[in-house]
Amino acid sequence: MRTDTQTITRLEDYRPTDYLIDTVELDIQLDPAATRIRSVLQIRPNPLGVKAVPLVLDGDELMFRGLWIDDEPASADVYEATPQGLTIAHPPGRPFRLTIDTEVNPSANTKLMGLYRSNGVYCTQCEADGFRRISYLLDRPDVLSVYTTRIEASRDEAPVLLGNGNLRERGEAEAAGRHFAVWHDPHPKPAYLFAVVGGNLARTGKTFRTMSGRAVEIAIYVEPGKEERSHYALDALERSMRWDERVFGREYDLDVFNVVAVSDFNMGAMENKGLNIFNDKYVLASPETATDADYANIEAVIAHEYFHNWTGNRITCRDWFQLCLKEGLTVFRDQEFSSDERSRAVHRIGEVRTLRARQFTEDAGPLAHPVRPTRYREINNFYTATVYEKGAEIVRMLKVLLGEAEFARGMDLYFERCDGTAATVEDFLGCFAEVSGRDLRHFQRWYEQAGTPTVSVQTAYDPVARTYRMEFRQETPPTPGQPEKSPLVVPVLLGLVGEDGQLLEASSNKVREDGLFVLETKAESITFEGIDSRPVPSLLRGFSAPVRLELDLPDSDLLALLRHDRDPFNRWQSAQTVALRLLTSLAEAPANGSSAELADAIGTFLDRSGLEDPAFAAMILALPGETEIAQEIGRDVDPDAVHAARQRVKAELGRSLAPRLRDLRAAMRGSGAYSPDAASAGRRALGNAALDLIAAGDPGEGERLAAAQLEQATNMTDRLAALATLSLIPGQTREAALTRFGDSYAAEPLVLDKWFALQAAIPEEGTPGRVRALMTHPAFAYSNPNRVRSLIGSFAMANPTQFHREDGTGYALLAETVLALNGTNPQIAARLLTSFGTWRTVTAARRAQARSALEHIAAAPALSPDVLDIVQRSLAPA
């Protein structure tokens, strides 16, 4: 393997820049192949920096075209310009103006970082370090500048010209057929929040009145003809703005807020100041093309990017190690928003399911890292579930520990004190320490220590002494670079549940009024006094900490919690735990257990409360996923055995619950026009969960029902659910349905993505061949991240039996794709490669295959820093 030539960036090496850039004035002459950029920087020595040192500006694949210092042409011996940087050895020791001309080719930019074209629309992506692909700059988050941007383009090609901030001026340009717009953003910002857009786009908008009465023009821009599909996003934006005013007291701070949807985008969306740019799948929605899940995602991503305006933009990050400061906090905020807009309990279950599937998996593998990492080779590889999802969990724990009121005061202080700064995790925690008078240094360990802690609980009831005792222990496994772990501050919300489901009036001096027990040491116990009969403990209510919980309770206790715990999260969790125990033991030996008791309990649940909250009932019907079962088994996992165990339990549940499931399906049948609201979506979710189980129990009936639903469905949610059910039943009906679906939506890329994803997830021998065939489908393109993610990403992430095939063909398919994308879009290549993260947990034969696929990648020529970083960490000795 090659020796490591990449530079490592370390948190402890942080120091401020030696120069500051107060203003950036850009003049961008948009052209498909030769865009010229003039950048005028007002620079001065940083009082905190070193005097009289060279000025080194970042660049990446830039064509240098000229340089002026204080408007005088600079002679060639004054500077050194390469595509990767611009150095001025002896800059003036006082404020000066630096003018730089560069040229870039947006049409050739396949990395989708910097300035590129998507479907003929010019757009930019600058986070984390894409600005340097537009012009030379101190491209780091602690350099804040006021930007003024003049954009000029052909009026035919780009009638719409958008930038950050407020529109200052627009008009005809000198050159024939060209026009211009000047945008000015008064809020100092780092370069990663810069954006421009130019193209032929259709606008839908309205006026938003802020809480202080200011008018803000809010708008969504989409491909002409798709305006109808932007209304939901506009509505979600308005609701987000209102919610941030009401819940966090945050008011919007410009005259306009624009959202632009583009079809080629590396991630979900980007919070550029006043000009959010979105992957179109998180904007466009119509009942015909989008599922309920799509609507929910659009709402969440619109909210997320809007909320960044305060958590990320007004208060930004000092350095990229602090990424969780904006991402974890903003995910927390968007989760709270969605919970308020929808059902809090159902939303929480969804959050925990993704946390376990994505973040716990990451934490258990070679790519595990702390929420605030201390070193990186490629920052783009740290936009992870750990930074985002676990980062949000830390904020949630802080809220539980401090309580609502103190948490709110801490947030207020943070907004007040850190506004306009590039802040750190310490600055954030400092505000909460100050308002609460607490020492949060121990709590801060959550940011520093990787790995998922296990909390195990032993319980004992003493009928004579009438006491109930719980012994807690915590343990965090080693992760790369962190062999030894210390105890964390774990907030455990708990209650003792009596026969009827009421909480017992039990007290212990270690448990707060609201049921909070804080485990801060390796082991600690609590004793409750005056307990008349053996209670059932409900632990980690609402999933109060991102830990794995090991309980010594018998299934019967857990099923009692399913019946009547008042905490809906734990009702769901209890059933999941029972199912998970059964599934892991069946995966180890097929004779090891029966689903009868679980089926019985779920049946009783459906009879009593199946109709109360359909979305919740749908969650109860869903068994833990194969990823979660594999995670529970931990090592030498045989994905085929896991799949077989899960299939079998699904089939048994389907058979024993069949009459009830049929009734439920009938009861959930919608009438009237489609509405994406949470209650209607919940009914569809339950109806479709029932269909899925019926089909598992009786594929013949399932095939008939699904085919009929496919015919009659009036919306994409029901249509896709039917197709998903059919996709698991081999035969002519399935193949014909797939073909027809593909033909009907040939002109709808976002719908074809679902069709690609569904086929790539079929757990059958033939799937790798099917995926290869689909790679030649006219709609598939390596250049489009959504297509690659739906087809290849889904194969690697949602099809464990085929990805982890013992013959290695699944791994080979992935390796091939990673290498094909390595040169053109390294970010996407590296992200796909992370699907090898579980390779050490599978059986020896599979491990050997995975290792050779990884080594094949590692040995390839010209690996991008992104792919090199992931492949090396994946192969590093455990």
Q: Of 331, 107, 361, which Cα lies nearest the Cα of 115?
A: 107
* Token code pair at residue 545: 């900490």
Cβ proximity to ligand TRP: between 377 and 571 the closer is 377
Partners of 186 in beta bridges? none
Name the catalytic one among 152, 271, 299, 305: 305
CB 269 → ligand TRP: shortest distance, Å?
5
CB 394 → ligand TRP: shortest distance, Å?
17
Q: Give the one residue of 104, 237, 262, 269 binding ligand TRP; rule: CB under 6 A.
A: 269
269 binds, among Zn ion, ligand TRP, none (CB under 5 to 8 A by kind): ligand TRP
CB 197 → Zn ion: shortest distance, Å?
19
864 binds, among ligand TRP, Zn ion, none (CB under 5 to 8 A by kind): none
383 binds, among Zn ion, ligand TRP, none (CB under 5 to 8 A by kind): ligand TRP
Cβ proximity to ligand TRP: between 277 and 653 the closer is 277
Provide the mask over 219-258, with x wherever binding to ligand TRP is found by CB under 6 A and - wherever it is not.
----------------------------------------
Cβ proximity to ligand TRP: between 381 and 595 the closer is 381
Cβ proximity to ligand TRP: between 270 and 788 the closer is 270
Report if residue 320 touches ligand TRP, rule: CB under 6 A: no
β-strands 196-199, 316-317 pairing: unpaired
Q: What is the 3-state secondary structure (H, E, C) of 193-230?
A: HCCEEEECCEEEEEEEECCCCCEEEEEEEECCCCHHHH
Cβ proximity to Zn ion: between 327 and 362 the closer is 327
270 binds, among Zn ion, ligand TRP, none (CB under 5 to 8 A by kind): ligand TRP
Size of the site for Zn ion (CB under 5 A): 2
Provide the mask over 323-352, with x wherever binding to Zn ion is found by CB under 5 A and - wherever it is not.
----x--x----------------------
Cβ proximity to ligand TRP: between 25 and 389 the closer is 389
Cβ proximity to ligand TRP: between 113 and 775 the closer is 113
Report if residue 264 touches ligand TRP, rule: CB under 6 A: no
Residue 603, Cβ density class (10 Å: 0-12 exposed, 13-18 middle, ≥19 buried) = middle
In the chain, what are the helix, strand and coil shares in percent, each to the nearest 5? Answer: 45, 20, 35
CA distance 75 to 496: 79
Cβ proximity to ligand TRP: between 305 and 718 the closer is 305
222 binds, among ligand TRP, Zn ion, none (CB under 5 to 8 A by kind): none
125 binds, among Zn ion, ligand TRP, none (CB under 5 to 8 A by kind): ligand TRP
CB 821 → ligand TRP: shortest distance, Å?
15
234 binds, among Zn ion, ligand TRP, none (CB under 5 to 8 A by kind): none
Size of the site for ligand TRP (CB under 6 A): 12
Task: Give the 3-state secondary structure of residue 42.
Answer: strand
Residue 108 contacts residue 115 (beta carbons within 8 Å): no
CB 558 → ligand TRP: shortest distance, Å?
37
CB crowding 541-575: b at 16 or more within 10 Å, else e:
bbbbbbbbbebebebebbbbbbbbbebbbbbbbbb
Residue 750 contacts residue 281 (beta carbons within 8 Å): yes
Q: DSSP per residue over 225-251, as a string?
A: T-GGGGHHHHHHHHHHHHHHHHHH---
Residue 434 contacts residue 413 (beta carbons within 8 Å): yes
Cβ proximity to Zn ion: between 43 and 303 the closer is 303
Stretch 452-491 residues interacting with ligand TRP (CB under 6 A): none
CB 139 → ligand TRP: shortest distance, Å?
13
* Token code pair at residue 363: 């934490």
CA distance 723 to 719: 6
Q: Which stretch binds ligand TRP (CB under 6 A): 123-131, 196-204, 210-218, 829-837?
A: 123-131
Cβ proximity to ligand TRP: between 131 and 248 the closer is 131
Report if residue 127 touches ligand TRP, rule: CB under 6 A: yes
Q: Which residues contact 749 (CB under 8 A, 6 or more apart)?
A: 263, 779, 784, 786, 787
CB 311 → Zn ion: shortest distance, Å?
9
CB 316 → Zn ion: shortest distance, Å?
12
324 binds, among ligand TRP, Zn ion, none (CB under 5 to 8 A by kind): none
Q: Count CB atoms within 10 A of the CB of residue 628.
A: 22
CB crowding 39-72: b at 16 or more within 10 Å, else e:
bbbbbebbeeeeeeeebbbbbbebebeebebeee
Q: Give the one residue of 25, 327, 557, 866 binding ligand TRP; rule: CB under 6 A.
A: 327
CB 517 → ligand TRP: shortest distance, Å?
34
Q: Which stretch binds Zn ion (CB under 5 A): 320-328, 349-357, 648-656, 736-744?
A: 320-328
Q: Give the one residue of 270, 615, 788, 833 binding ligand TRP; rule: CB under 6 A.
A: 270
CB 187 → Zn ion: shortest distance, Å?
18
Q: What is the 3-state secondary structure (H, E, C) of 94-150?
A: CCEEEEEEEEECHHHCCCCCEEEEECCEEEEECCCCCHHHCCCECCCCCCCEEEEEE
Residue 311 contacts residue 781 (beta carbons within 8 Å): no
DSSP strands (E only) in 15-92? 19-29, 35-45, 55-58, 63-69, 72-73, 79-82, 85-88
* Token code pair at residue 599: 């089926």
Angle between helices 678-697 and 699-712 (to 10 degrees): 150
- Backbone φ, ψ for residue 835 (5° rounding): -65, -15
* Token code pair at residue 378: 């490629």
End-to-end CA, the chain: 17
* Token code pair at residue 115: 């300035």
Q: Helices in 257-390 by DSSP H: which ranges?
A: 292-307, 323-341, 344-354, 361-363, 385
Stretch 762-781 residues interacting with ligand TRP (CB under 6 A): none
CB 383 → Zn ion: shortest distance, Å?
8
CB 294 → ligand TRP: shortest distance, Å?
18
Question: How many C-alpha atoms does 758 have within 13 Å on its Cβ side?
Answer: 24
Residue nearest to ligand TRP (CB): 267
Give me the amino acid identity at 872.
Q
Q: Which stretch binds ligand TRP (CB under 6 A): 261-269, 439-447, 462-470, 583-591?
A: 261-269
CB crowding 849-871: b at 16 or more within 10 Å, else e:
bbbebbebbbeeeebbbbbbbbb
Give me the amino acid identity at 437.
G
- Backbone φ, ψ for residue 52 (5° rounding): 55, 40
Q: Which stretch binds ligand TRP (CB under 6 A): 42-50, 53-61, 121-129, 610-618?
A: 121-129
Is 305 noted as a catalytic residue in this protein?
yes
Stretch 278-317 residues interacting with ligand TRP (CB under 6 A): 304-305
Stretch 361-390 residues interacting with ligand TRP (CB under 6 A): 383
Q: Give the one residue of 35, 118, 125, 311 binding ligand TRP; rule: CB under 6 A.
A: 125
Cβ proximity to ligand TRP: between 91 and 114 the closer is 114
Report if residue 267 touches ligand TRP, rule: CB under 6 A: yes
Report if residue 271 touches ligand TRP, rule: CB under 6 A: yes
β-strands 19-29, 145-154 pairing: parallel
CA distance 460 to 466: 11
Element (H, E) at 490: strand 490-497
Cβ proximity to ligand TRP: between 125 and 794 the closer is 125
CB 340 → ligand TRP: shortest distance, Å?
20
Cβ proximity to Zn ion: between 327 and 652 the closer is 327
Residues that bind Zn ion (CB under 5 A): 327, 330
Applying CB under 6 A, the residues found at the interface with ligand TRP are: 125, 127-128, 266-267, 269-271, 304-305, 327, 383
Positions annotated as catalytic residues are 305
